[in-house]
A and B are shown apart, each in its own frame.
Chain A
Amino acid sequence: MLLHRTYGQRRQIALVLGLILALVLSACAPSGADDPAEPETTEAPATTDAAPATTEGDSEPEEPTDTTEAEETSEGGTVVKVGFLSPVTGPLAAIGTEMKQGWELYWEEHGVDAGSYTVETVYEDDAGNPDTALTKARRLVEDENVDVVVGPLAANTALAVADYLVQQGVPNFHPVTAADDLTQRLANPLVIRVGAMTGSQATYVAGQWAYDQGYRKAITLCSDYAFGWENCGGFVRTFTAAGGEIVDQLWNPLGTPDFSSYATQIASSGADVAFIGSSGGTDGTNFMRAYEDFGLGDQIEVLGNCCLLDQATLRDAGDIAVGLRSVTYWAEGRESPEVERFIELYDEAYGGIPSLYVANSYTAAHVFAEALKASEGELDPEGLVAAAREVNLEDSVFGPRRIDEWNNPIGNVYITRVEQREDGSYWNVVEETYEEVSQFWTFDPQEILDSPPYDRTNTGQQ
């Protein structure tokens, strides 16, 4: 019986395999020549697919869609379709939701018309997962035919999505992502950072400021991945260049539950200032928990980055944080009509004080709207980014902003201090302002671009 069965099966397998082979062979020929090229028939014959040809081929169908889009709606304002990617589920849901709020808030306030265009936004959830983000980006580009993608949030998703969008020839506006390389070693005319600063940009100020205050020995604690490396890299570079000494550098894995051992080490390090390059959110609150438990505030000056004491952390940390200083480009307590209006607007719509992430996307929308106002007629992808690069904001919620030739913002960096407001909530007020801070600080851009990216071995030590 056994023999009989296997014999029969073998025959079956052989037949099936033969069939598959036949199909493969028969289908291969035409598939190269005419068929799935269907969506891109106008393009180079697929059989001669050299890699670069195909990447171009892939990007090509985009432009026809752009034009059809433009023609279709030319009766009213030309519709510009924006795909907005952010994680509204998953571990980053809170930040992703606030990011979305910032974008929505701007268009609610100013209306969706900008210049001769009407902005239409399609929202997608990337769950904070790079694979999902990429699939969703594909949907936005290939099914929704969006003209621009705004987002996503996390650097890992952003790098993956940017890589894909550049291949497709679709402009990519980044409201939150800080990864240095996006506007440095991987700078691309289609990729522009419009809200956040790079990971090391604001922290260059931190090192300088700490030295100017008379601190000479520093210990750092940064997240152990690109964002943390860049944060610490900026601080260490300027602090040591000025003549300061780094006593020790600690790296906490992202999502470290228990910061007690780091707090203990910081307290006993003998340094006189501790720079904390936190990724914010949970890592921020977990650090603050250990900070309080071990009474770090009484033993050492703690200086936070953009995210340690942002509203996302501050809402929970509250009174523990009062008096703590940070180096950041978003100061919700800055005295400026622009900021006050923005906070009021947010409070009405969602309640509370807007976080860094709301401000980032709000500014992204602001820059985007200005870029549209400066454009005319049919939008070409690089032209749109170029128009955004020319945007010069006298006062945004971040203060004066313009954009450098690598598509990265130049603007104010503030030394802030946490204070309690009359209504019991907490915010960061400005103590000192550094103006016109570029992503290269005062260093020679080429020197930075030529050196390897910051990491645990290349810490910026001078």
Chain B
Amino acid sequence: MLVLQQLLNGLSFGALLFLLASGFTLVFGLMRIANLAHGAFYLLGGYVGVVVTAGTGNLALGLLAGAITVAILATGVERVLLRRVRGNELAEVLLTIGIAFIVADICLAIFGGNPMTLSVSEWLKGGISLGVMPYPKYRLFIIGFTVLVGIALYIFQKRSRLGAMIRAGVDDREMAAACGINVDRIISGVFVLGGALAGIAGVIGAGLLSLRPGADVDILLFALVVVIIGGLGSINGAAVGSVLIGVIDATSRVWFPEFSYFTIFAPMALVLVLRPTGLFGRKV
């Protein structure tokens, strides 16, 4: 029973990680840049979502507000800044560090430093019986929500026209451009989508972990580990990596409390040494 409970704990945390890592890896797949402001996007989206949810009492509105705020910010960042250094991958990555500094600092200025959590709707509060034991509803909700988002992403990527264009852009940017695809607009779109996913992750995550200054860096680290293990640019990899890290994190806290931090990084180091592109990554 304890095992099952810890597995669910790990799965629900992993689900949150997937929400976060999918946006990160999506952007990387197309743009070849690691958006290190992703954690700051998460934080901003979370704060906005928490405030809006508290004000309206509606989680859906909070999610929307968080996603839209970050999407707008991401649009601005992409249009005004990233575009200027397009093609210089390193400059793009370093630029996102600068953005992370500013966004996090402005979050502190606006929302203050007190920890904030999401006040979830009444129907998500408390536990629900799973036959053998009760389990928190909100955690089950996260798992369900994430599965939906995952399926939506999958369908979008594999079945829609836009998704096909994105895949073409990922495979070969020049060729896609030659085929008449407006790669520039696709890139903007994906960056904004990635930001929106980070915002959503922030709102959902605020129901599980509290938001505070510094949470952006903590969560970014988890996202990094997940995508390094799963392979940069791969949604499937992000899914596998998230579940793996989530479960390892939860179970090791119980059975190897001394090594609870190390157990997350051992798999990452192993992957880096043996298969630097990650489990599902392609050679770049």
- Direct A–B contact in complex, judged by CB atoms less than 8 Å apart: yes
Identify the stretch in A289-297, A339-347, A439-447 within 8 Å (CB) of chain B at 4 or more residues. A289-297
A285→B117 contact, CB < 8 A:
yes
Query: B213 to A91, Cβ gap below 8 A?
Result: yes
Contact: B113 with A295, CB < 8 Å?
no
Chain A contact residues (Cβ within 8 angstroms of B): what range?
Answer: 35 or more
A289 x B208 contact (CB < 8 A): yes
Residues of B within 8 A of A292 (CB): 125-126
Ranked 8 nearest A-B pairs via Cβ: A94-B113, A293-B136, A91-B214, A93-B113, A285-B210, A260-B9, A282-B115, A257-B209
| B residues less than 8 Å from A96 (CB atoms) | 113
Chain B contacts for A265, CB-based, 8 A: 2, 254
Whether B134 and A295, one on each chain, are in contact in the complex, defined by CB atoms closer than 8 angstroms, is yes
Q: How many residues of B contact A (CB 8 A)?
A: 41
- Whether A282 contacts B250 by the Cβ 8 Å rule is no
Chain B hits for A92, CB < 8 A: 113
User: Are B253's CB and A316's CB within 8 A?
Assistant: no
Instruction: List A contacts of B134 (CB < 8 A).
Output: 294-295
Give chain A residues whose Cβ lies under 8 Å from the Cβ of B127: 293-295
Candidate in B2, B5, B126 with the most chain A CB atoms within 10 angstroms: B5
Q: Are B113 and A253 in contact (CB under 8 A)?
A: no
Give the docked Cα–Cα distance between A315 and B108 (Å). 17
**A312 contacts chain B at the CB level, 8 A cutoff:** yes
Contact partner of A289 (CB less than 8 A), chosen from B12, B114, B117, B213, is B117
* Bound-state Cα–Cα, A258 to B208, Å: 7
Q: Is B38 an interface residue (CB 8 A)?
A: no
A281 close to B (CB within 8 Å): yes
A268 contacts B by Cβ under 8 Å:
yes
Closest to B113 in A: A94
Cα–Cα distance between A257 and B218 once the two chains are bound (Å): 9
The residues of A that contact B219 with a CB separation of less than 8 Å are: 257
A-B contact count (CB 8 A): 107
Distance (Å) between the CB of A321 and the closest chain B CB?
12
Contacts A89-B105, A94-B112, A261-B254; is A282 near B210 (CB within 8 Å)?
yes
**Residue with the highest number of chain A CB atoms closer than 10 Å, among B112, B136, B210:** B210
CB neighbours of B207 from chain A (8 A): 289
Which among A89, A253, A261 is the interface contact of B250 at CB below 8 angstroms? A261
Interchain CA distance A34-B25 in the complex, whole Å = 62
- Judge if B32 is at the interface, Cβ distance under 8 Å: no
Chain A, residue nearest B118 (CB): A289
A294 touches B136 (CB 8 A): yes
Take A89-B105, A258-B209, A261-B253 as given contacts and tell me if A282 and B215 are in contact as well, using a CB distance cutoff of 8 Å: yes
The closest CB in chain B to the CB of A318 belongs to B119
Contact between A251 and B13 (Cβ–Cβ < 8 Å)? no
Interface code B9-34, partner A: CB below 8 Å = 1, 0 otherwise?
A: 10011000000000000000000000
Contact at A253–B218, with CB atoms within 8 Å?
Answer: no
By a CB distance below 8 angstroms, the chain B residues around A260 are: 9, 12-13, 136, 139, 250
Q: Could you say which residues of chain A place their CB within 8 Å of the CB of B92?
A: none
A-B contacts, 10 of them at CB < 8 A, read A92-B113, A94-B213, A253-B261, A261-B251, A261-B254, A262-B253, A265-B254, A281-B115, A295-B134, A312-B115
- Residue from B13, B136, B207 whose CB has the most chain A CB atoms within 10 Å: B136
Interface status of B6 (Cβ within 8 A of chain A):
yes
Q: Which residue of A lies closest to B251 (CB)?
A: A261
Which residues of B are found within 8 Å of A293, using beta-carbon distances? 126-127, 136, 138-139
